[in-house]
Chains A and B, each alone.
Chain A
Amino acid sequence: MGLVLTMQLRPKLVEYGVEAELPAMVGIAIVREIGPVITALIFAGKIGSSIGAELGSMKVTEQIDAMEVSGTNPFKYLVVTRVLATMLMLPVLVVLSDAISLYGSFIGINIKGVTSAHLYWDMVFRNLSFGDILPAIVKTYFFGFAVGIVGCYKGYYSSKGTEGVGRSANSAVVLASILVFIIDLIAVQVTDLLGFN
């Protein structure tokens, strides 16, 4: 993401004579928006579909019923654990993804120029404030919650056999992705209201 974004932005910035601001612009774009949203969408595709398919197949093979008749609450055992896992792990993934993207951007900048690592990271972090990082991390918890809960819901209420399992996995990805955009939109408004922008 960082590499591509840098290569796309560079010509325009060169045209306006502000090429030196490239690390700052890319840094803000990645940390505030692109990193969390793109990572959450990939997460929805991989983890949301996986949860939907796993719980869906457990439902149609009566494994969830078996859990219930053995006196175990399947909601606590299957749903709560997965939703907590997605909420806790997505922010970690976003931080990792941001770091890799920023490193990719550093490579992109050095493809058509020479910028030292020290100068690059200094420019990235000098232009990032607490108000850029905190809301971006907080919203990823909500993204994680949305991916987890949608995957579990679609899987848990799966029906119509194996066809239903496929449909659950598919609709989990679609719905979770839409929710990521909606939460992002709300997060921007809330961040603005709280004066973080």
Chain B
Amino acid sequence: MTTYPEIRTHRLKEHLSEEVISVRGLCKSFGNNKVLDHFDLSLYRGENLVVLGKSGSGKSVLIKCLIGLLQPDAGEIEVLGQSIPDLDHEALDQIRVKVGFLFQSNALYDSMTVRENLEFPLRRHWIKVNQDEVDHMVMDALGNVGLAHTVDMMPVELSGGMRKRVALARTLILRPEIILYDEPTTGLDPITAGEINDLMVGIREKFQTSSLIISHDMKCVRMTADRVIVLVNGRCHANDTYVRLAASIDPEVHRFFE
């Protein structure tokens, strides 16, 4: 399944009303290293937004701030109308159920089988769900990523692409409204990376999720983005559709599209 940016952008205009993530003036430093410097971002419902930047530019720091894994030095972060830095642990957990996160390293629990990995978030949040329902939800989530046959395997027995799919299934099992992807195609061969890209687009179509995708893989950006933000020196350097940015003469933007 390959979709084209122009078509998606046209359709997206109908949905650009509700902001699900809003970042204003976000600053984050590690010692003297200023990673994010008054960064702004808006993600709208149903949109696939890609943050493009070179390695070490602060892309992963950005999404870790969005989910409350890192505390920003300054700035406002609102996710689904809630100010993330001001939330207590319990309120943050409630938000996190609605926001899926796909880690660059997949972060599968390596002491658990695939089934247990997927059951884990369900058991923590939907305590009253009986085993039959849990089994059904696990198989359904694995079916969505085409890996139902791996249910009793250990993560170590899976290939890189399969692990990424299982991690995606684990992210999907709580039916999040927003999914944050941290470099989803890094380390994968071009064919598997293409399959993951298709899956991300397919998930948006099927579950009506909004996605923030961190990437420097231009094929991933082209296939998945409704809109692209170029992150340079910790700031939002450009913000437009893939097609317009590809035609840009700005040297900082042009470097990514060469």
For B145, the chain A residues whose CB sits under 8 A away are: none
Given contacts A61-B105, A62-B103, contact A69 B124 (CB under 8 A): no
A58 to B107, CA, bound (A): 8
The residues in A between 146 and 183 inclusive whose CB is less than 8 angstroms from any CB of B are: none
Find out whether the CB atom of A66 lies under 8 angstroms from the CB atom of B107.
Answer: yes
Find out whether the CB atom of A69 lies under 8 angstroms from the CB atom of B105.
Answer: no
**Which residue of A is nearest B120, CB measured?**
A70
Find out whether the CB atom of A69 lies under 8 angstroms from the CB atom of B67.
Answer: yes
Find out whether the CB atom of A70 lies under 8 angstroms from the CB atom of B89.
Answer: no
A15 to B103, CA, bound (A): 70
The residues in B between 92 and 113 inclusive whose CB is less than 8 angstroms from any CB of A are: 93-94, 96-97, 99, 101, 103-105, 107-110
Asked whether A195 is an interface residue with its Cβ less than 8 Å from the other chain, the reply is no
A26 to B224, CA, bound (A): 74
In addition to A69-B96, A70-B120, A72-B121, 12 A-B residue pairs with Cβ atoms within 8 Å of each other are A61-B105, A62-B107, A65-B64, A65-B107, A68-B96, A69-B67, A70-B96, A70-B97, A71-B121, A71-B124, A72-B93, A73-B93
A37 to B103, CA, bound (A): 43
For A71, the chain B residues whose CB sits under 8 A away are: 93-94, 96-97, 121, 124-125
Asked whether A81 is an interface residue with its Cβ less than 8 Å from the other chain, the reply is no
Given contacts A62-B105, A63-B110, contact A70 B124 (CB under 8 A): yes
A61 to B105, CA, bound (A): 7
**A/B interface sample: 17 pairs, CB < 8 A:** A58-B109, A61-B105, A61-B110, A62-B104, A62-B105, A65-B69, A65-B103, A67-B120, A68-B69, A69-B69, A69-B99, A70-B120, A70-B121, A71-B94, A71-B97, A71-B121, A71-B124
For A73, the chain B residues whose CB sits under 8 A away are: 89, 93
A14 to B103, CA, bound (A): 69
Interface size for chain B: under 10, 10 to 19, 20 to 34, or 35 or more residues?
20 to 34
Asked whether B174 is an interface residue with its Cβ less than 8 Å from the other chain, the reply is yes
For A62, the chain B residues whose CB sits under 8 A away are: 103-105, 107
For A69, the chain B residues whose CB sits under 8 A away are: 67, 69, 96, 99, 101
A61 to B99, CA, bound (A): 20
For A72, the chain B residues whose CB sits under 8 A away are: 93, 120-121, 124
Q: How far is the CB of B30 from chain A (nearest CB, A)?
A: 12
A71 to B108, CA, bound (A): 15
**Which residue of A is nearest B101, CB measured?**
A69
Find out whether the CB atom of B109 lies under 8 angstroms from the CB atom of A63.
Answer: yes
The residues in B between 40 and 80 inclusive whose CB is less than 8 angstroms from any CB of A are: 64, 67, 69
For A67, the chain B residues whose CB sits under 8 A away are: 109, 120
Q: How far is the CB of B93 from chain A (nearest CB, A)?
A: 4
Q: How far is the CB of B221 from chain A (nearest CB, A)?
A: 23
The residues in B between 132 and 180 inclusive whose CB is less than 8 angstroms from any CB of A are: 170, 174
Give the top 8 A-B pairs by smallest Cβ distance, nearest first. A66-B107, A71-B93, A62-B107, A70-B121, A69-B101, A71-B96, A72-B124, A71-B97
For B101, the chain A residues whose CB sits under 8 A away are: 66, 69
**Which residue of A is nearest B123, CB measured?**
A72
Find out whether the CB atom of A63 lies under 8 angstroms from the CB atom of B121.
Answer: no
**Which residue of B is nearest A72, CB measured?**
B124
A93 to B93, CA, bound (A): 38
Q: How far is the CB of B252 from chain A (nearest CB, A)?
A: 30
